[in-house]
């Protein structure tokens, strides 16, 4: 995909505008995801039983992961959060929708039993601030999942100017400020395919 315009610095308003426009592009920003993909399975496995619990999808896009989480746990409260209002219009009914930055989540401290961010942290302007917010909204004992791209694979994909990829230790250290159990692993889209170094997952327990 060709990025239609550039900007001189990381500006949340610019990024919001970009994703509001991108919402019309279903090919590159789909509203669904195959539930068999390992990214999905990993999120569900690490979050555990969410019956009658609250979970936040931070940087949810069109809610493709949120759909599956809600289908797996119909009694759960799923909070779909994204910077772009146009993306949130695709989130299915029955979920809480919230337009907000990852660095200023409008949720109370320890108000969620779990939170996850799938390929969304890479778009945050303040990475330490966004990770701190993920941790802040989760209760002690709650679980956090981050899935994003590996800094060692930088350059394999065309990216917008503001995007960041991460080293395993970088996010481990940020999560460890608030979490008692943190680990990371390379992952692939499919469980039976050897990871090629593009994607990493960070799993934490607060």
**125 in helix, strand or coil?**
coil
pLDDT of 12 reads 87
Nearest in space to 79 (alpha carbons), one of 55, 111, 102: 55
CB 118 within 8 A of CB 67: no
Residue among 149, 170, 171 at smallest CA distance from 160: 149
Residues of the chain by 3-state class (helix, strand, coil), percent to 5: 30, 25, 45
The predicted pLDDT at position 2 comes to: 37
Sign of CA dihedral 23, 24, 27, 30: positive
C-alpha–C-alpha distance, residues 63 and 101, integer Å: 16
Give which of 136, 116, 130, 114 is closest to 170, Cα–Cα: 130
The two three-digit tokens of residue 144, written as one number: 């956090």
Which positions of the chain have pLDDT values less than 50? 1-8
Per the structure block, which two tokens stand in for 154?
């930088």
Confirm if 80 and 102 have CB atoms less than 8 A apart. Answer: no
Architecture of domain 26-205: 3-Layer(aba) Sandwich (3.40)
Q: In the numeric block, which tokens belong to residue 3? A: 């990025």
**151: Cβ–Cβ under 8 A, 6 or more apart, which residues?**
165, 166, 167, 170
- The DSSP bridge pattern shows strands 54-58 and 112-118 to be parallel
Task: Read off the tokens for 23.
Answer: 């919402």
| Beta bridge pairs of residue 47 | none
Q: What is the pTM of this model?
A: 0.94
pLDDT at 11: 84
Per-residue model confidence (pLDDT) at position 3: 38
pLDDT for the residue numbered 9: 54
The three-point CA angle 72-142-86 to 5° equals 60
Sheet bearing 112-118, strands edge to edge? 96-99, 77-82, 54-58, 112-118, 138-149, 199-205, 181-187
């Amino acid at each position: 995909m060709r990025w239609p315009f550039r900007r001189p610095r990381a500006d949340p308003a610019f990024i919001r505008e970009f994703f509001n426009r991108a919402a019309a592009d279903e090919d590159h920003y789909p509203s669904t995801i195959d539930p068999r993909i390992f990214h999905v399975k990993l999120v569900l496995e690490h979050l555990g039983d969410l019956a009658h619990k609250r979970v936040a999808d931070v940087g949810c896009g069109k809610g493709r992961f949120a759909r599956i989480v809600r289908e797996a746990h119909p009694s759960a409260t799923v909070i779909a959060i994204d910077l772009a209002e146009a993306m949130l219009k695709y989130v299915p009914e029955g979920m809480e929708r919230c337009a907000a930055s990852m660095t200023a989540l409008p949720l109370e401290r320890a108000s969620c039993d779990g939170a996850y961010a799938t390929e969304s942290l890479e778009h945050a302007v303040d990475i330490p601030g966004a990770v701190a917010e993920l941790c802040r909204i989760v209760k002690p004992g709650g679980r956090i999942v981050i899935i994003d791209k590996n800094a060692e694979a930088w350059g394999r994909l065309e990216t917008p100017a503001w995007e960041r990829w991460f080293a395993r230790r970088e996010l481990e250290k940020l999560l460890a400020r608030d979490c008692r159990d943190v680990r990371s692993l390379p992952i692939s889209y499919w469980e039976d395919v050897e990871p090629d170094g593009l994607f990493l997952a960070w799993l934490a327990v607060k």
